[in-house]
Amino acid sequence: MAKKPVDKSKPQQVENDKTNKLEEFVADSTGQRLTTNHGVKISDDQNSLTAGDRGATLLEDFILREKITHFDHERIPERVVHARGSGAHGVFKVYEDMSDLTRAAFLCDPGAETPVFVRFSTVAGSRGSTDLARDVRGFAVKFYTQEGNFDLVGNNMPVFFIQDAIKFPDLVHAVKPEPDNEMPQAASAHDTFWDFISLLPESAHMIMWTMSDRALPRSYRMMEGFGVHTFRFVNAAGVSHFVKFHWKPLLGVHAVAWDEAQNISGKDPDFHRRDLWDAIEAGAFPEWELGVQVVAEEDEFKFDFDLLDSTKIIPEELVPVQRIGKMTLNRNPDNFFAETEQVAYHIGHVVPGIDFTNDPLLQGRLFSYTDTQLIRLGGPNFHEIPINRPVISVHNNQRDGYMRQTINRGKTSYGPNGIAANDPQQTKAADGGFTSYNERIDARKIRARSKSFFDHFSQARLFLNSQSDPEKNHIIDALSFELGKVKMVEIRKRMLGVLAHIDKGLAAAVAYNLGLHVPEIPLNELNGSIPADADPADYTPEQKEGVLTKSEALSMANTIKDSIATRKVAILAADGVDGKSLSKVKDTLVAQGAVVHIIAPKLGQIISAEDQKIQVDESFLTAASVLYDAVYVPGGTNSAASLEAEANAVHFLNEAFKHCKAIAADAGAIQVLEAGYFFKKLPAEYSAETVLREGVIVSDDLSSFTDLFVQMIARHRFWEREVPRKIPA
């Protein structure tokens, strides 16, 4: 008997249709009370149970553990977050003995070389998503030390969206594709994310970072890394210092344009993965310096923010970053799955001399990471997978379980024991055994957040104020794009209200692009971690005299721009090209460490004006300007005429100009540039000053031309080309 068709336009029929066997399993939470999975009503889903408002998170918090356990087991087999990743092997060496701060041996011996494995990743997308999504980038380093593995599991941004780990499942559920239609992939520009964010003011600072150019790195090799949390260094005498970890790339910090990122996603979604792999294969080993910000125990409360709050930074003007060592990535994995996919990081993998603080986000992560690996890698023996094994031998009484590889000899698997003389035995702290920092805890069990965590907007404002004008414009554009994709107008309005608490001019600029007015939304209507009876002064404190209002370190415009090493330069050419000019410029760029590709109308070879054969690297069908950092067009009558008539060549230059890249041409190729839309915008006469402002040079003097072109490429981008916009007063 045929099924009766269901008319979905009539909800009553769907409800009464007994052929829908899944109907009894459908849950609608509209108007319902929040409960645990076992039906217990929850009075506070915003805060973990802690020993006092700044104390450690308690293991008895069954609500936190149930929520995070369920979250950790929601995806198999790929990671729930950080699924899209790339990895590489390398080494780390400390510059000088750090034993005055920590007894971690790998930080105390400048002669030691510690192997590392690093995994970079996007956060929100699946394994098959693009590298160029607007997203946070994971920056996880596994140190294989002689005292065991130490995992520094961080991001390319120094803060996070939430203050308490109990909110992490909510954050990820909100940013992931919406559950009814599984869209959009690897994107935060949708209703559920901004609905959540607009109700969680503590995310304000992180939103400034993710809407900035930091979310669109040019390369994994050109982005900073941060430990995010405040950790502890503990020396041999048991003296503790607070520490924040930084990775500073020696190539500087660079980004791509948003329009460029979208184009790259179509042209080469593996752009970052390929870039890292190719650089290492070519011997251009990426390097970062490890930096630390160190705060004495007695200075814990001297700042106008809380060191335990993961939505806050310590501005470098207040505590400078000390660069203490260098990491070099020098070997690609032999097998992506066995190494990059199976590597298991855990923030709880520490060595003697490095310890935790009571940061409630860090405390939840200490539980979550091991729990995640249990389901993702099939059981408790994931540490025996080769990429996860320490370089020293492991001895304990743990046995059996899925995928056990170690064959343990002997009769005993318990301690204490008399049969085996109590082996394996404990190690005293003085002999290298790990001991936790002896921190006093004396507090009542509560679900609440310390008032020192309440200010959600001052550092968001600090970040915005620290950006260059082009960077501020990019934040406006990013917020306008993201909120423009939000379908529910009330969510847009609510988010504008949040932005107004950061900066009214920013909110006004975004509101103008959305065709809306900025609403006045009281803080206690924003929900999240702000209680209904809160004092607004606790959340938007007045600017105190002497408090930092701008930090140079927060702007990418102030980072290193003195090298063209590994930058990719396209040379556009065709038959009849001036071979001498092409060779001179190419040789100069390669000598400076750049990667140069010759791009022509077709693959194979072109014949120069000197009748020499020149090998072509890419054709206009296989190449695109978004895959390169700069463009050069050599002279040659026939070559210039061919390129002028080649629409793809003209588009290549137009797009490079649009994305603010360095462009150079011989005077004999000026007709190619004149075919582009941008040429009429340039000054009539050239000087070094105008060239370094505009980023375009046409010259017949190769002696000065090449040096100037190198300076232009080192600048990375000429954001000044973009239409200037000011944030309204």
- 66 sits in which H/E element: helix 62-72
450, with CB counted inside 10 A (0-12, 13-18, 19+), is middle
- 10 Å Cβ neighbour count for 17? 15
Query: Which residues contact residue 430 at a Cβ distance below 8 angstroms, ignoring those fewer than 6 apart?
Result: none
SS3 state of residue 677: coil
- 354 sits in which H/E element: strand 354-355
Q: Is 229 a catalytic residue?
A: no
Among the listed residues 82, 205, 349, 474, the single catalytic one is 82
Residue 141 contacts residue 24 (beta carbons within 8 Å): no
CA 247 to CA 223: how far, in whole Å?
A: 9
Task: Please give the DSSP secondary-structure letter assigned to residue 591.
Answer: H
Q: What are the angstrom distances between the C-alpha of 71 and each of 62, 64, 166? A: 14, 11, 10
* Residue 437: φ, ψ to 5°: -60, 135
Among the listed residues 47, 149, 155, 381, the single catalytic one is 155
DSSP H helices, 73-147, are: none
**Residues facing residue 233 across a β-bridge:** 241, 354
Strand order in the sheet with 568-572: 618-619, 595-600, 568-572, 630-633, 662-666, 696-699
Which amino acid type is present at position 344? A
Task: Please give the DSSP secondary-structure letter assigned to residue 497.
Answer: H
Residue 197 contacts residue 161 (beta carbons within 8 Å): yes
367 labelled ligand-binding: no
365 labelled ligand-binding: yes
- 89 sits in which H/E element: strand 85-94
Residue 341 contacts residue 305 (beta carbons within 8 Å): no
Query: Which residues contact residue 136 at a Cβ distance below 8 angstroms, ignoring those fewer than 6 apart?
Result: 122, 123, 155, 156, 157, 210, 215
DSSP labels, 535-583:
-HHHHSPPPPTT-----GGG-GGGS-----TT-EEEEE--TT--HHHHH
271 labelled ligand-binding: no
Residue 501 contacts residue 725 (beta carbons within 8 Å): no
- 10 Å Cβ neighbour count for 585? 22
SS3 state of residue 253: coil
Task: Please give the DSSP secondary-structure letter assigned to residue 3.
Answer: P
DSSP labels, 164-205:
SGGGHHHHHHHHSPBTTTTBSTT---SHHHHHHHHT-GGGHH
Residue in this structure with the two tokens 């979208």, named with its chain if needed: 262
622, with CB counted inside 10 A (0-12, 13-18, 19+), is exposed
CA 231 to CA 353: how far, in whole Å?
A: 11
Q: Which pairs count as long-range contacts for 585-592, CB under 8 Å and 24+ apart, including other chains?
A: 585/632, 585/634, 585/664, 585/702, 585/705, 585/706, 585/709, 588/706, 588/710, 589/564, 589/706, 589/709, 589/710, 589/713, 592/563, 592/564, 592/565, 592/710
Residue in this structure with the two tokens 């092997």, named with its chain if needed: 89
Preceding amide of 522 cis, omega within 30:
no
Distance of CA 51 to the CA centre of its chain: 32
Q: Is 16 a catalytic residue?
A: no
* Residue 599: φ, ψ to 5°: -120, 130
512 labelled ligand-binding: no
Catalytic residue numbers?
Answer: 82, 155
Question: What are the binding residues?
Answer: 79, 119, 168, 365, 369, 376
Question: What are the binding residues for heme?
Answer: 79, 119, 168, 365, 369, 376
